[in-house]
Structure 1
Amino acid sequence: MSIARTLRGHGKRAVSRALHRGWQVVRAAGTITADSPGLLRFGALGAESRFAFPLGAVFGERAIHIGTGTLVGEHASLSAGLVPGQELGSRPIVTIGDRCTIGRGSHIVGHQSIVIGDDVWTGPYVYITDQNHSYADPDRPIGLQWPINDVVEIGSGSWLGAGAIVLPGARLGRNVVVAAGSVVRGTVPDHSVVAGVPAKVVRRYDPTTGWHPPLRSLPAEIPEGITHAELEALIAQAESVAAGAGGAESVAAKAGGAESVAAGATGAESVAAKTAGAESVAAKAGGAESVAAKTAGAESVAASPPGPESVAAQAPDRDHDPAE
C-alpha cells in the first residue's frame, strides 16, 4: 500500500470522526427545552421536557401545552391549526401531560382539541389527529371539501405501539394498549388492549377476575414514582443480570461438557484396559499353545529318534568357534 493511499485513508477516518462529533454537538445545541426554546414559543413547556433535534414540523406552538418531564423524539411533528401563523385564540389545542414519551417520527396534528394524559408512551411513527376529510359531496373533490373535526382524548398511562393511528373522535381510557399498526376510532374502555384495522378490544381487565384472556407472562414490578432516566437504568441493570445468568449457564454447560469428555476418556481408558486384558489373555493363551506345541514336538522327537543325517545336521560347525 502506497504512502499516499495510507494518508487518504487516515484523512477519511479523521473527517468521519470530526463529522460525527460535530453532529453530536449540533444535536445537543439544537435540543428544545424550556430554558432553550430556540425560535419556538410554546403555550407551556414544563421543566425537564425536551424536543430531540432535529425536529419535524412544529407550528402553532402557542396553542401547544406540554407538561414536565416529557420527551419528544427526533423528527416528530406537532402542530396546531391548518397553517403556521394562524390565529388560534388563547385556549390550548394540543395538550400533552407529564412524563410522556412521543416516539421518533410521530405526528400530532391538532385543530380542535387533542388531550394526552400523563405517562403516555408512543412508539415511533404514531399519527394522532382530530381532523378528517369530508366526502359528503360526491361531485366535489374530497380535498376541496370542508374537513370535519372531533375531539381526541388519550387516557393517562396508555401505550401506543409503532405505527398506530388515532382518528378524530377517539377516546381512549386509562392504561390502554394500542397494538402496533392499529387504527383506533370510537371509545376504548380503561385497562383494555385493542388491535386491528379498525381496532377492536382483544383483552380486558376485570377488577374481580383479572385479565381476560389471561396474560401469557407476568412482568416485574416497577417502583412507584420512578423517573424516565431511572427506568432506563433499571432496564439496563436487568439486561445485564440476564446476560450474566446466560453466561453462568454457558459456563455450567461447558463444565458439564468437560465432565462428559472426562467420563468419555475414562470410558476409553476402561475399554483400553479391557482390550489390554483381552490381549494379555490371548497372549497367555498363545503361550499355552506354544508350550503345547513344544511339548508335542518333544513327544514327536521322542517318538521318532533322529536319523544319522539329522544328528549330523544338528552337530556344531567345527570351523566356527561358538565363543567368537
Structure 2
Amino acid sequence: MPFAEKIRRAARERARRAASQLVHRGWGFVREAGAISAERPGPLRFAELGAFTKLAFPQGTIFNEQAIAVGCYCIIGERVSVSAGFAPGLQLGPEPIVRIGDGCVIGRDSNIVGHQSIVIEDNVWTGPSVYISDQNHSYDDPALPIGKQWPRNEPVRIGAGSWIGTGAVILPGADIGRNVVVAANSVVRGTVPDHSVVAGAPAKPVRRWTEAEGWQPPIRTAPPRAIPEGITHEQLVALIGWDLRLPTESGESAGSVGPVDGRDAVEADGPRDADPDPVS
C-alpha cells in the first residue's frame, strides 16, 4: 500500500474515532439536560414531583401532568408514557388520577394510562414495556364498532414493594397486594393477595407466602444471605455496584472515597450463589 494511502486511512480512522466520541459525549449532555426532575421540571407541571426523582430523557407521551403525582427517589425510564384523561388540556379535578409512590422504578418503554385512579404504592419496580391502565373498551353492542362504544373504568392499585416483570399488562380493576411478583408477559386482572407470585394470561398464582407455611411451593434456592455485620459502605458498594447514599452539595455521595477493592468483603462472605429460579 502506498505511503500516502496509509496516511489517508489513518487520518480517516482518527476522524471516525473523534466523531464517535463527540456524538456519545453530545448525547450524554442531551440526556442529562433533557431529564425531568423537581429542580428542572422543564415545561411540565406535575401535581407532585418528589425530591431526587428523575424522568429520563427522552420521555414518552406525558399530558395532563397536573393530575399526576410522583413521589421521591423514583426513576422513570426512557420513553415512559404517563397520561391522565382522554386528551391533553382537560380539567380533571383537584385530586391526582395517577399516583406513583416513593422509591419506584418504571422500566423504559412502559405506559401508564389513567382515567379514574391508578395508585402505584411505594417501592414498586417494573421491567421494561409494562402496560398499566384503568380503562378498557366496551363491546356490548355487536352492531357498533368497538372503538365507538363508551369505555369502562375501574381503579387499579399495585401494592408496595411489588415487582412487575417485563411486558406485563395490568388491566382495569386489578388490585395487587404487597410484595407481589408478576412474571414477565403476564396479564393481571382482579385481586392478587399479598406475597404472591403470579404468571400467565390471565395471571394465576404459582407461589404464595403465608406466616403459617412460608413459601408454598417452597423456593428451590437458599434465601439470600444477610449483609454481614460490620461491613463498610465502601465494601457494600464494591459488592453491589450502587452507592445509595444521598449526594452532598458537592455532588458526591456523603463520605465517598476513591475506588474500593471489594475482594475482602467478598472473601469474608464467600461467593454469592446464583438463583436459577425463573419465577421468583
Q: How far apart are the structure 1 equivalents of 2:36 and 2:58?
A: 10
For the pair shown, which has the larger CA radius of gyration, 1 or 2? 1
Shift in Å, 1:10: 1.4
Higher relative contact order (CA 8 A, sep 6+): 2
Identical-pair percentage: 60
- State how many pairs are aligned: 239
Q: 1:213 to 1:241 in 2, by over 3 A?
A: farther
Q: How far apart are the structure 2 equivalents of 1:232 and 1:80?
A: 38
Which residues of structure 1 form unaligned runs of 5+? 224-229, 250-324
- Within 5 A, what are the aligned runs for 1:65-84? 65-84=69-88
Q: How far apart are the structure 2 equivalents of 1:95 and 1:17?
A: 40
TM-score computed with the length of structure 1 as normaliser: 0.70
Q: Which of 60, 85, 89 lines up with 2:64 in the alignment?
A: 60
- Within 5 A, what are the aligned runs for 1:121-200? 121-200=125-204
Q: How far apart are the structure 1 equivalents of 2:137 and 2:204?
A: 23
For each residue in 1:166-187, what CA deviation from the matched residue of structure 2 results, as whole angstroms up to 9, or x when unmatched? 0000000111110001000000
Which residues of structure 2 form unaligned runs of 5+? 229-234, 243-261, 272-280
Shift in Å, 1:61: 0.4
Q: Which residue of 2 aligns with 1:29?
A: 33
SS in 2 for 1:139: coil
Q: 1:189 to 1:68 in 2, by over 3 A?
A: same
Q: Determine whether 1:236 maps to 2:225.
A: no
RMSD over equivalenced CA pairs, Å: 2.4
User: Structure 1: which amino acid aligns with 2:240?
Assistant: I
User: Structure 2: which amino acid aligns with 1:163?
Assistant: G
Q: How far apart are the structure 1 equivalents of 2:111 and 2:227?
A: 29
For each residue in 1:242-286, what CA deviation from the matched residue of structure 2 results, as whole angstroms up to 9, or x when unmatched? 9x77xx99xxxxxxxxxxxxxxxxxxxxxxxxxxxxxxxxxxxxx
Shift in Å, 1:87: 1.6
User: Structure 1: which amino acid aligns with 2:201?
Assistant: V
Q: Determine whether 1:5 maps to 2:36.
A: no
- Within 5 A, what are the aligned runs for 1:11-50? 11-50=15-54
Shift in Å, 1:8: 1.8
User: Structure 2: which amino acid aligns with 1:97?
Assistant: G
User: Structure 2: which amino acid aligns with 1:236?
Assistant: G
TM-score computed with the length of structure 2 as normaliser: 0.80
Shift in Å, 1:84: 1.1
Q: Determine whether 1:99 maps to 2:103.
A: yes
User: Structure 1: which amino acid aligns with 2:80?
Assistant: A
Q: 1:195 to 1:241 in 2, by over 3 A?
A: farther
Q: 1:176 to 1:233 in 2, by over 3 A?
A: farther
For each residue in 1:106-154, what CA deviation from the matched residue of structure 2 results, as whole angstroms up to 9, or x when unmatched? 1110000000100100011110000001111101111111111100000
Q: 1:54 to 1:13 in 2, by over 3 A?
A: same
Shift in Å, 1:13: 1.4
SS in 2 for 1:104: coil
Q: 1:204 to 1:231 in 2, by over 3 A?
A: farther
Q: 1:35 to 1:86 in 2, by over 3 A?
A: same
- Within 5 A, what are the aligned runs for 1:107-118? 107-118=111-122
Shift in Å, 1:4: 2.2
Q: 1:167 to 1:233 in 2, by over 3 A?
A: farther
Q: How far apart are the structure 2 equivalents of 1:23 and 1:164?
A: 30
- Structure 1 stretch 1-10 or stretch 31-40: which is displaced more? 1-10
User: Structure 2: which amino acid aligns with 1:79?
Assistant: S
Q: How far apart are the structure 1 equivalents of 2:172 and 2:182?
A: 16
Q: How far apart are the structure 1 equivalents of 2:45 and 2:238?
A: 32
SS in 2 for 1:202: strand
User: Structure 2: which amino acid aligns with 1:235?
Assistant: I
